[in-house]
């Protein structure tokens, strides 16, 4: 069964529609939270998705450095994918995600690292390959 993804509002509806047309199973934040989750902290929508086994997708690479936002990923041994380029057009985001689809699916199957006792320390740094240090080795942000 293919993984399901939970799209941050910053990706937009067009990205969701295009990914669906390419066979991705996606859930939009606006379909779950009122007012497009404008008042919902990132950690809350991320936790909501992970609790339903939906893999978060975002284009906010800063999430990886914010403890309150990345903590749900760590605590659930989950994975999160981000496009660390705010200037991409919708079609470029879709192409980048879809071109890494196999690698993304493999990373989802492997899952994240087990929760660490230091989960509240704020020590989340991207690895040398641009990945969150809690993602499987070899993962790169698409």
What would the pLDDT profile of 108-124 be if each residue is shown by its tens digit? 998 876 654 433 333 33
Give phi and psi for 22, each to the nearest 5. Answer: -95, 10
Percentage above 90 pLDDT, the chain: 45
Other Cβ atoms less than 10 A from the Cβ of 41: the count is: 12
- Do residues 58 and 66 touch, judged by C-beta distance below 8 A? no
* Residue in the structure block whose two tokens are 């910053």: 10
**DSSP state, 33?**
S
Q: What is the pTM of this model?
A: 0.78
d(CA 139, CA 126) in angstroms, rounded, equals 11
Q: Which residue has the tokens 């990205």?
A: 15
CB-CB contact of 67 with 124 (8 Å): yes
At 30-60, the pLDDT tens digits run 999 887 778 888 899 999 999 999 999 998 8
Residue ranges of E strands in the chain: 4-7, 25-28, 54-58, 81-82
């Amino acid at each position: 069964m293919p993984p399901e993804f939970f799209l941050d509002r910053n990706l937009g509806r067009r990205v969701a529609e295009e990914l669906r047309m390419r066979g991705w199973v996606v859930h939009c934040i606006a379909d779950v939270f009122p007012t497009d989750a404008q008042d919902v902290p990132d950690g809350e929508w991320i936790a909501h998705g992970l609790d339903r086994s939906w893999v978060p997708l975002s284009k906010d690479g800063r999430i990886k450095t914010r403890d309150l936002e990345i903590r749900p990923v760590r605590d659930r041994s989950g994975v999160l994918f981000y496009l660390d380029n705010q200037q991409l057009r919708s079609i470029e985001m879709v192409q980048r995600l879809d071109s890494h689809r196999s690698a993304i699916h493999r990373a989802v199957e492997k899952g994240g690292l087990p929760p660490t006792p230091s989960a509240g320390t704020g020590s989340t740094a991207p690895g040398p390959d641009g990945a969150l240090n809690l993602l499987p080795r070899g993962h790169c942000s698409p």
